[in-house]
Amino acid sequence: MTQVQLQELQKQLWNIANTLRGKMGADEFRDYILGLIFYKYLSEKIQNNANEILSPDQIKFAELVEDTEINQAYLSAVREECLASMGYFLAPQELFHSMATLARAKKYILDDVIKTLKAIEQSTLRTDAADDFSHLFEDMDLSSTKLGNTPDDRNELISRVIVHLDDINFDLSNTESDILGDAYEFLIGEFASGAGKKAGEFYTPQMVSTLLAKLVTLGKERLRSVYDPTCGSGSLLLRVKREVGDVDAIYGQEMNRTTYNLARMNMILHDVHYSKFEIKQEDTLKRPQHMELKFDAIVANPPFSAKWSASESYLSDPRFRDFGKLAPSSKADMAFLQHMLYQLDENGTLAIVLPHGVLFRGSSEGHIRKHLIEKLNVIDTIIGLPANIFYGTTIPTCVLVLKKNREHSDNILFIDASNEFDKQKNQNKLLPEHLDNIVGAFENRQNIEKYAYVASLQDVADNDYNLNIPRYVDTFEAEEEIDLDAIAKQLQALEVESLKTDAEISKFCAELCIDSPFAEVK
C-alpha cells in the first residue's frame, strides 16, 4: 500500500469514527470505534486462518453451518487449532461480515454484537490467552443512551458503522506491511489531539516515541525484552519493536482500566502474539507487577509531576532504599525513574521523558540526583526538548538516558534541542530531521556549538549536581553591537530633512492664507 492509499484509509476510518461522535467526548467515541475496528480485525484473522485450515477440503469457513455431524466436526477442529495458535475463536455466524450482512438487511443486530464480543472473551477461558482477552470490550457499552435514546436508535447507529467498516479492505493477508496498525495509530493520535489533558494518559506523540525507541535500540538488532511501566495505549512499546525489528517479549503496566484495554487491543492488532506480550493493570509505584524481571530496554513517558504517597514504608522497598530519601509526594517524577532503573538489566538502556524540574530541583530530588551521578554513575545523556510538543501540556520537557554499564563513564552528554521544532497551529512538532540531529549528536558524542556539550563528571560536581542544560550548553546569541556614532548621524540627517519639510508646509500655508502649524506662539 502506498502512502497515498494509507492516508485515504486513515481518512475513511476517521470519517466513520465521526459518525459516532454525537454528544460524546473524544475519549468516549474513541472506545467504540477502536473496539469495532478491533472486532473486525479479530474476525478477519480468524476467517483467514480457518480458510487456510479448511483449504485441503475446499471449504469456506464463513459457509460452515452446524447442521450436520461432519460440519460440527470441522468447526470443532478449526476451533481447537485457532485457540492453540491465536488464543481466541469466533464462529461463522459471529464474523464481522456476517453482522454487516444482517445490518444491510435492516435486521436488529445489537444483541448479537453484544453476545459476540462476550463470546470472544469467553472463548479464551482456560487458555494461555485468557489474561490478554479478559474484559477486553468492557468499555464498549452498546446499551448506552449516548448511542441513541432507544434500542432502535442505537442499533441504527452501530449498524451504519459496521456496514461502513465492512466496506474497507484491511488487507490482513499482506504480511509485508502493517496497514491497519498504522491506521490504528493514526486514529489514536487523532483522538489524543482532541482529548485535552486526558490525552497524556494514553498517547505519546509519535516523533517522541520514535526518539525514545531509537535511543534505547541504537546499535542493536534484537532485544530480549522491552518494558514500559506507564504504557498508556502501548504505542511507545510498539515503536521500540518496530525500530529494532525483533523483540522476544514486551511488558507494560498501566493504571487506567480503559487505557489498559486499549493497550492490549493495540498489541494484538499489531500482530503481536498473545504469548509475546504481558500488559498488567495496576499502579506501578504502589503495586509493580514485574519486579522479578530485568529488561534490555525500558522506555516511559510517565504522568508529569504526578502525586504519590511517598510513604516512609517505601524506604525499605528495594527500588528506593539505597537512596535514603524519597521523591516528594507532590512530584513522583524521580520515583518513576528509580523504579525503571531498578528493573534495568546490567547492559540495558533506559530512556524516560520528564519535566525539566528534575534536572535542578533541590531537597530530596537533588539528593536523589546526586546519588544517581556520584554513587551510581548511571546518567548518560540529558536531552532538552521543545515546549508544547505533548498533548495536554505546554511545558518544556527533557529525556534522560540511563545505563548501568556506561561506555563513557567519565562524562555526561547534554543536548539542547529545545529550539528545533516545526511550529504548527496548536502544537509544536518534531520533524524527522530534528530527530536525526538528536540521534546523531547522541551517537557521535562530541561538542557541537550551541547544541551539545560533553561535560566531565567534575564539571557536574562543580555545578553541585545541577543538570539544568543551559549550565552546560551555551545557546546565548549576542546581540549585534550598535554604532552610536552612526545612529547620531542618522538622527541629524533626519532632523535636517524634518526642517526642510516643515519649511515646505509653512510655505503652502502662507499661499493659502492660513496659519502655519509651525508658526511661533507669541
**For position 66, what pLDDT does the model report?**
81
Question: 271-285, 430-444, 447-461, 494-508 — which is least confidently predicted?
Answer: 494-508
User: Above 90 in pLDDT, residue 260?
Assistant: yes
| Cα separation values, 139 from 67, 110, 117, 159, Å | 35, 15, 11, 18
User: Above 70 in pLDDT, residue 339?
Assistant: yes
**For position 390, what pLDDT does the model report?**
83
User: Above 60 in pLDDT, residue 157?
Assistant: yes
Q: Are 320 and 326 in contact (CB under 8 A)?
A: yes
pLDDT tier at 503, thresholds 50, 70, 90: confident
**For position 20, what pLDDT does the model report?**
77
User: Above 80 in pLDDT, residue 180?
Assistant: no
Q: Give me the mean pLDDT over the 140-165 stretch.
A: 92
Q: Give me the mean pLDDT over the 132-144 stretch.
A: 92
Q: Torsion angle, CA of 30/33/36/40, rounded to 10 degrees? A: -120
pLDDT in tens, 74-108: 999 999 999 999 999 999 999 999 999 999 999 99
Rg (the chain; Cα; Å): 31
User: 383 — phi, psi (to 5°)?
Assistant: -125, 120
Most confident residue range from 121-135, 185-199, 367-381: 367-381
pLDDT in tens, 264-300: 999 998 889 999 999 999 999 999 999 999 999 999 9
pLDDT in tens, 231-251: 998 999 999 999 997 899 999
User: Above 80 in pLDDT, residue 317?
Assistant: yes
**For position 487, what pLDDT does the model report?**
84
Higher-pLDDT residue of 174 and 457 is 457
Q: What is the rounded CA–CA span in Å between residue 194 and residue 24?
A: 12
Give how far the C-alpha of residue 365 lies from the chain's centroid of Cα atoms, to the nearest Å: 26
**For position 65, what pLDDT does the model report?**
87
Q: Is 247 exposed, middle or buried (0-12, 13-18, 19+ CB in 10 A)?
A: buried
pTM: 0.86
User: Above 50 in pLDDT, residue 321?
Assistant: yes
User: Above 60 in pLDDT, residue 199?
Assistant: no
Higher-pLDDT residue of 508 and 478 is 508
**For position 445, what pLDDT does the model report?**
97
Q: What is the rounded CA–CA span in Å between residue 395 and residue 306?
A: 14
Q: Are 322 and 430 in contact (CB under 8 A)?
A: no
User: Above 90 in pLDDT, residue 488?
Assistant: no
Edge-to-edge strand order for the sheet containing 452-456? Answer: 277-281, 247-254, 223-228, 295-300, 344-355, 397-403, 379-384, 411-416, 452-456
Q: Are 437 and 450 in contact (CB under 8 A)?
A: no
Q: Is the dihedral of CA 353, 359, 361, 364 positive or negative?
A: positive
Q: What is the rounded CA–CA span in Å between residue 163 and residue 106?
A: 11
| Cα separation values, 229 from 27, 270, 305, 337, Å | 22, 20, 15, 10
Q: If DSSP codes are grouped into helix, strand and coil, which group holds residue 132?
A: helix
Higher-pLDDT residue of 38 and 173 is 38
Q: Give me the mean pLDDT over the 191-204 stretch.
A: 61
**For position 30, what pLDDT does the model report?**
82
**For position 522, what pLDDT does the model report?**
46
Q: Are 266 and 204 in contact (CB under 8 A)?
A: no
Higher-pLDDT residue of 487 and 101 is 101
Average pLDDT of the chain? Answer: 89
**For position 416, what pLDDT does the model report?**
96
**For position 2, what pLDDT does the model report?**
62
Higher-pLDDT residue of 327 and 387 is 327
Q: Domains of the chain by range and CATH?
A: 3-193 (1.20.1260.30), 196-471 (3.40.50.150), 482-522 (no CATH)
